[in-house]
Amino acid sequence: MAPDGLLDRAALRHLVFPDHDELEELNRIVHPEVNRLRDRLIADAIGRGEKIVVCDVPLLFEKKMADEFTRIVLVDAPRPLRLERLMRDRGLDETEALDMIAAQMPAELKRARAEYVIDNTGTLTDLEAKVAHVWTELEREADTLASTVTI
């Protein structure tokens, strides 16, 4: 725990990412509750009549959850750029960032399984335009399907 009583994410990363068994133990603790919360929120959205529900699932493929979703949108960038961003944006050292990347399925395999792949190598403005385009496509699909689409 951090001095403020909240979870010390950096300390937790140091414990679990270098040790596969520790990471799996953490996942066994956290994921069932995350799944229950996600399922409840999806049910609530469907109850409100939402046509599209977006779920951000970092380990979607690794946890074999892809079949639970109607469409998969992958936002991806080359590994060196992801490494740079993890270090810059999250303040990770190179080893921590590499451990996080190593815990994930290779991007090429994820790309092959996604219905939409958004390339995130440009500016934030570029990314927003690409996301807007995919969103329009998803809305069109949801209207055609006349049911809720979970992505």
How much of the chain exceeds pLDDT 70, in percent? 96
Q: Is residue 103 part of a domain?
A: yes
With 0-12 / 13-18 / 19 or more C-beta atoms within 10 angstroms meaning exposed / middle / buried, residue 108 is exposed
Query: Domain range holding 59?
Result: 50-150
Question: Tens of pLDDT along 104-133?
Answer: 899 999 999 999 999 999 999 999 999 999
With 0-12 / 13-18 / 19 or more C-beta atoms within 10 angstroms meaning exposed / middle / buried, residue 124 is exposed
Give pLDDT, residue 13. Answer: 83
With contact defined as beta carbons under 8 Å apart, do 88 and 129 qualify? no
In this prediction, residue 34 has a pLDDT band, given cuts at 50, 70 and 90, of very high
Q: What CATH number should be reported for the domain holding residue 111? A: 3.40.50.300
**Cβ partners under 8 Å of residue 18, min gap 6:** 99
Q: Is residue 40 part of a domain?
A: no
Give pLDDT, residue 149. Answer: 57
Q: How far are the Cα atoms of 14, 31, 133 from residue 11, in angstroms, in the given order?
A: 5, 19, 39
Mean pLDDT, range 48-59, rounded to an integer: 91
Q: Is residue 18 part of a domain?
A: no
Does position 148 have pLDDT exceeding 60, yes or no?
no
Q: Is residue 12 part of a domain?
A: no
Q: Is residue 34 part of a domain?
A: no
Q: Is residue 35 part of a domain?
A: no
Does position 31 have pLDDT exceeding 70, yes or no?
yes
The total number of structural domains that make up the chain? 1
Q: Is residue 42 part of a domain?
A: no
Q: What is the pTM of this model?
A: 0.79
